[in-house]
Amino acid sequence: MWCIPSGCDPSRVLLYFHGGGCVVGSMHTHRKLAGHLAKAVGARALVLNYRLAPENPFPSQVHEGAAAYQWLLGQGIKAEHIATIGDSAGGNLTIAVPLKLRELGVSLPAAMVPLSPYLDMELTGDSLETNAATDALVNRPLMETMVELYLCGASPQDPYANLLYADLSGLPPAYVEAGGAEMLLDDGVRIAALMDKAGVEVVLRVEPGMQHVFEFMAGRAPESDRAIADIATWLRPKLGLG
């Protein structure tokens, strides 16, 4: 699904991956958030309706994301004018897809924006416990079920599923965002630290008191609107927009 804001630069594209553990969700559930981001940046957003697990388990979604990116290149969109962006499991794909593209020898996107990324298939983050009482959306049994359905027997340490095990060197600049009250906070904090260690330009933003993918409240909460505006301020120069 294309989200095309009035007056945007059609040569700049946000390749958006929706969340839902790669088990639920669709381009329809996330088009509002993708549209707000596209409008703020001044670009089009392509929201990928990738196939879901368990019928299509890992790594199906990584391959589909790489194929969608290469389709954009085939349409004449330059790699330096594309950013990968997504929330939760889509935040995972936001990083995993460029990793796959690097393996394939394909020119990488200009930037990555993982929002509340869900990265650790072993569920070892401290915030799974410390933020259990403040997270209104995520809980450990839910995460365990999603891991099982997504991996379908694949290793929880596979670097294309668990980005904490990936070689991150050479990846594009990244803007990592998470809510301070969410159980997956540590996934974002840890990947940002690993990116920095690998020499990747990275910004980590944690919004105090906010929930998992708090950007969903765009248009209704000042914290979300401010976060999206800040993402756009960071991302526009990466895409060559003034």
The CA distance from 212 to 189, in Å, is: 14
How does pLDDT run across 209-231, given as a tens digit for each residue? Answer: 999 999 999 999 999 999 999 99
Q: What is the pLDDT of residue 242?
A: 82
Average pLDDT over residues 166-177: 98
The pTM assigned to this predicted structure is 0.98
H-only helix segments in 1-152: 31-41, 60-74, 89-104, 127-130, 140-151
Domain ranges, ordered by start, for the chain: 2-238
The CA distance from 39 to 37, in Å, is: 5
How does pLDDT run across 108-138, given as a tens digit for each residue? Answer: 999 999 999 999 999 999 999 999 999 999 9
Catalytic residues: 88, 182, 212
How does pLDDT run across 42-57, given as a tens digit for each residue? Answer: 999 999 999 999 999 9
Instruction: Give the CATH architecture of domain 2-238.
Output: 3-Layer(aba) Sandwich (3.40)
How does pLDDT run across 175-218, given as a tens digit for each residue? Answer: 999 999 999 999 999 999 999 999 999 999 999 999 999 999 99
